[in-house]
Each structure stands twice: as C-alpha cells, then as structure tokens.
Structure 1
Amino acid sequence: MKFLESLVAQIGSLILIITALERFIPAQFWTTIETYLRKLTFLFNPYIEITFDEFPVDVYGRSKAYACIEAYLGTNFSGKATRLKAALAGEGKGVALSMNDYEEITHAYKGVKVSWMRNTSYPRNNVISFKESIDEKRAYILSFRQKDRDLVLGSYLSHVLAEGKAISKRGRKQRLYTNVSSDGKMMWRCVGFEHPATFDTLAMDPKKKEEIMDDLTEFTKAQDYYRKVGKPWKRGYLLYGPPGTGKSTMIAAIANFLRYDIYDLELTAVVDNTNLRKLLIEISKRAIVVIEDTDCSLQITGKRKDANHSDHHNNDDPTPEDAI
C-alpha cells in the first residue's frame, strides 16, 4: 500500500515537472503526453475523492449536503473517532460530540469500504477589514475505490443524505441566524436559540396576548388557503417603542410558540439588492425574519422623502423599531 502511495506521489511530481516544461513541448505532442500521464495516474491510483464544501462557490449559503453528512457522521460514528470536538448539547443533556479536523472515519457499506475526513483550511487574506468575515473553509472528504464508484455515487450517498436529513429533523433545535460578510458576499451564520420567553411569562394584556396566539395558530394552519388564493404564506407584525419595552421578548415568545428559527437581518451590513435577494432566498420555510430599527434603515433602500412635502405624516406618530 505504501509502495502504491509513493508511486502515485512520484507520478504527480512528474506531471508537475512536465507541466512546467509545457511551453517547450510542441503542441502536437503535449496532448498525447497528457493523455498517457492521466491514464498512468488512473492505473496506479485506485481511489476517488469527493469534497463536500460547507459553503460551495456555486451555491449561496450553507450546503444542505454538508449539513446532512455532518448529522450522519456525528450520530453514527462519533464513538469511533479518536479526535473529537465537544459542545454543550443544551437543556442539561450533557455534551454533544463531533469529528475534529483531519479526523478520518472508515466503515463498510454493503461490503464496500469508504472513508470520511473533516478538513478545515484557513486561506490567506491580506486585506484589512473591520467587518466580520468567515476565514475558515470547512469540508468533508469522501474517499473510496474506483471499482466501487457506481455503488457509492448511487445508493451509498443517497443513504447518507436521507439518513442525515432524518437525523437533523429528529434532533432539530431552534437557531438564531445573523448575516455576515465573506469575500464580498453575504451569508447566514447561526447559533443555538435558547431564550426562556414564552407567552405564559410575557407581561401584557391577557386579551391581546390571546388574540396574538389565536392569530399565529390560524396562520400556521392556513398554508392551503394562501396557496389557493395565490398569496405568499407569510405574516407581518410591526413592533414599536423605546428600548426595554419588550419587543425582543415578544419576538422570542413568538418563536418559541411556533418553534420557528429566527433570522436577524441587519440591513446596514447588506451592500446591494443582489445580496439581499440571496439572503432572503436562503431563509427556511418556517422562520421568523426580524428587521430591527426599520426607521434607520429606510435610507439604505432609497432616499428618504422630505417630510415637509408630505401632509400624511405626523411628527408625533410612534417610531417603528422592529418588524417581523
């Protein structure tokens, strides 16, 4: 095995040397040489590698395949790993374990041997920026023998993705998403959402509280109606008032009542409409989108109209704070 690995490495070095000499090789001979070198590498390298990036270049947002693989490996094979990462499981359930960087897990599927490795890279960045950015690039690498290609690309990957999706659904916890900048693009980053606020603990008029809860319940059951009338299935609330009046607590209570994730959209960090559209596309179906300080964000989407030329606004009107 070590002999084959050494031989493949030597062939790779030979390809690099020949590539460097490409300018000195006549074009009619270069194609033939390249073809034979590829065949030679294929002959002595019995393995195929597939990389599943967390944030693929051609996909906006976090890869769903990466999330499924993470759930699948973490649930089924974390006990076999020797290098692990630990995180609090929440709700007093102890510690949740996952694969650490460069840890490799090997197992068999229908008699076929496959290996997974978690990889993290840190690209160099010479640009100084005061905005939050994502430096680490994470990925899972799957390796297997070429002779098992059809089985792995067919039933095995389908099995991993389906089971990983089911695991994520069973153990799903609410999350809080915030938009951050990475390489000039906006994307969502999340943390666990564990806010204690509920409608039972919310201090407000009981009738108004019941009215809001009934409205939310009716909304969750009205998907077929919205589809029938051709309207987007969404509901909007405007919360206003000075800091400390309970706007964030109300949002947390609604999220816990519906068991929805929260997407905290910071408009001041969005540079253009294209990035905004991409962020909105990535929002899951059952989620609460929070836009804070909407009065301060109006200038981002267009010029603020001069209040002196409008007779429809009163300076004594309450100022909106949060929209959900």
Structure 2
Amino acid sequence: MAMESVLSQLGSIIAGLMFVWAIFRQYFPQDLRNHIEKYSQRLVNFVYPYIQIKFNEFTGERLKRSEAYLAIETYLSSNSSMQAKRFTADVVENRQSLALTMDDHEEVADVFEGVKLWWSSGKTTTKGPSFSFYPVTDEKRYYTLTFHKRQRELIIGPYLKHVLKEGKAINVKNRLRKLYTNSGSKWSHVVFEHPATFQTLAMEPEKKKEIIDDLVTFSNAEEFYAQIGRAWKRGYLLYGPPGTGKSTMIAAMANLLGYDLYDLELTAVKDNTELRKLLIETSSKSIIVIEDIDCSVDLTGQRKNKMEKEEKEEKDPVRKLAKEETESKNSKVTLSGLLNFIDGLWSACGGERIIVFTTNHVDKLDPALIRRGRMDKHIKLSYCSFEAFKVLAKNYLKLESHHLFAKISGLLEETEMTPADVAENLMPKTSPGNAETCLESLIGALEKAKEEAQIKAEEEEKRVVSLVPKEEKEQDIIANEQSRTKKLSTEEPEGQSSAKVAPAGA
C-alpha cells in the first residue's frame, strides 16, 4: 500500500506540473516565456557541470556536408566498434567491404590525455506540409560532444584538432583513389587501380631506396615547409628512352603515398586561364603528371621564333586564313603560364602536391622549366641493368638465381635493352611457362640486339665518311699529290751522288 501511495502522489505531482506548464504556454505571452526559459537555462547551466558541443551533418542550408562531421564520423567508426551496441552498415563504393557507423541516439566514451568524454549521435526529424501528395521527411543528423567544463581548453583545442586530423587521415587511407584527366577546363575521373609498386619496379635497389626515402620525407614535412616559407609541393623530372618505366614509376609513387593522380593533357587546355582553373580544382595529396612534355614545341621557349619564321614564309591569303583557323583551335598555353602553374602564387593553393614531368629528350626542354625549385629531383631511367633484370626475373618467373644469369649479365653490359623489352621476353609463351625457355629467349634477343647494334654502328661510320664534303676530298687528294711530287723531286738519280764525290783528276 505504501508503494501504491507513493506512485499515486508522484503521478499527481507530474499531472499538476503538466497542467501548470500547459496554462503557462497558453496564457503567458511569448516574450515572458522566452524570458523565463532564458533564466531557467542559466540556472541549469550553473548547476550542470558539463559542456556540450553539437556538430551538424550539413552546413549552409544543407548544401554541403560538413567536413568536421565527416572526420568525426570516420574517427568514431574506427574507435567505437568495441563500445557501441547499435550500428548502421553500408557498402563502401566499388568495394566488397562494409562501413560501420554509430546508429542514432548511441553513445560512446573516449579518453584523451587521461580525460574522459562522451560522444553521442542524434537525429531531428521535421515533416513537410501535410497537404502535399508526397510529404517529405527532413532528417538532420548530428554528433554531440560532452565533457566537464574544467577541461574546456584541453578539449576545444588539442582534442578536437586530434579528432579532425585522425579522421581525415583515416579517410585518405581508406578512400578509393582516382585517376583524373582533363577535357578543356574540367576534370573527369575513374577509379585508380594500377598494381605497380616499388617492390615490383625494375631498378637498382640503391636508387629505388633513394626515391622512396625522398617521397616519404616529403609527405611528412608539412611543418618543415611551413617553417621555411615554401609551398608544400615537390617536382620530379623523369627522363630516359621510351620503355624505361617512367609511367610505371608514377603509378608506384601514387600507390606508395596513397595520392590521387591528375593526368594533365596540355593540348586540351585552351589558355593559361584554363590551366590555372584546373590547378585550383586539384585536391591535396595528389600527383599532377604531364607526360612527354618535350613533344610540345610551344613550351620550349621557341613560340616567338616559330611564329616569326612562319609569317615570313606565308604569303598566300587563303593559306594564311586556314592557318589562323587552325591556330585558334590549338592550345595557347605559354611557357610563362606553365611556370606560374608549377611554382607561381596559385601553386600554393592547397598542399601536399607532387608535380611530375616525363620526357624522352631532356635536352629539348627549356632550362627555366626544369631548374631546381621547379623540378627538384631529376631521375634518369636508363636501359635495363642486371639488378633490374633480377627484379623482373623474380616477378615474372619466380627466380632468384639460375645458371643462365651469368651469361645474361654479360650481355646486358654489352647491349642496350629497355626493361619493357626484357619483360616481354620473360613473359611465358605457354601456360605454365618454362623458366629456362624464357631465359633462353631473352639471351637470343640480347644477342640479336648486340649484332644489330654493331651493324648499325658500322653503317653510321660509313655514313659519316660519305658525308664528308666533295671539296674536302679534292683538297685531300691535291695535298697528297703535292706531297708525293715534292718527295720525288728531292730524291736524286741513282749514281749521281757518287759522281759528285769522285776527284776531279780521276
């Protein structure tokens, strides 16, 4: 009976409070109610020792998802799996794995530098007009951080920076990397899935380690670049004959660092303004690639000379009009515009970018384009060495040693063959392939290449001799004839010297 009496009294009190609250809301003016609620909230805040921070999913009239919300969601997903009891699962785009996030109204705890705090997820729902044939329910999700007011400085400062940094790092690590290409001033992309790594790259181990160390050092040098007052970017010039692995190295660089790739096609860019726009739209943690840059004559500082020469030669008005129409369709990107793209003021927009040029003929490039500070590191990719061959043999044939390796080593020292050609000869011709057959095929190709190189060298020597001017040949013949005549004139007839020596009275 005592319990029933207590519950009855409690029910009466609650009913009375609800009645008073209803009367208060109905008969008291809005201004007075706001005034009372304001001071009641102050009283609660004075008694309640905790602070709450709310992070909404959308900002600016739901036009854009909050970067802070996304970072917090990722951070909590990786830290709440051992605490939360209710999750929301979704399939990651283009992957066969599930992403788990905290369900609505779930709460987990976190500890930072010995201080305990709490994260909770929430959702507010508002319905559209009831008279609509298709009523819309608007859901707004948010995260709430709760902590003691004594820890205000620690949480608002270092802790939130830690959460945002860790969340963004996890997003970058787990994201699907993309390969972009440009059509005019717009980027389009596909998922980047190139399998190349530095482990499978055919290169000398010492050189490979040097490049890896340089890339890793750059990716961890944000504070250093800020300290010395330079934009956080680095340029790489890859040069060498075709087939030496320039494109493969770029893919290995992207896989090592987890960067997106932007393959910039300069011929599709209308002018310097479009080029600048493309740069602004690239993201951080990316590699911007311009392949075969030597093929663009207008970027070698020769545009003016070329135009002057064509103006002198072009006299026909019809041909001149056709030429103008053609030029209007061509790219008008200048050397100056490209230099500003690489290290001008606009290049500092964003951070953690790598710019890569590839070329087969480094001597054709303007020195201003590849100087240190623009292309900071020059990497020469040459013909296949024996160390590079061993990497290919391990990749293609699962071999680390073989009795034919010694012969191949000697032939590689005497013959120039690209890693691409070596790899093609190591490709098994049957399934499964015979390793020794592949090595013998490579030896045959090397010997053939050696013979062809010798024949080519002999033909080149003959060609050089044949190109000696006719006048020089005639001069040589005349000089030889004069030398022979002079020699004959100085020689005396046989017996003449003895007659001169004989006494007069003999």
TM-score, normalising length from structure 1? 0.45
> Is the helix fraction higher in 1 or 2?
2
Specify the structure having the higher radius of gyration (Cα): 2
> Is the strand fraction higher in 1 or 2?
1
Q: Which structure would you say has the larger RCO, counting Cα contacts within 8 Å and 6 or more residues apart? A: 1
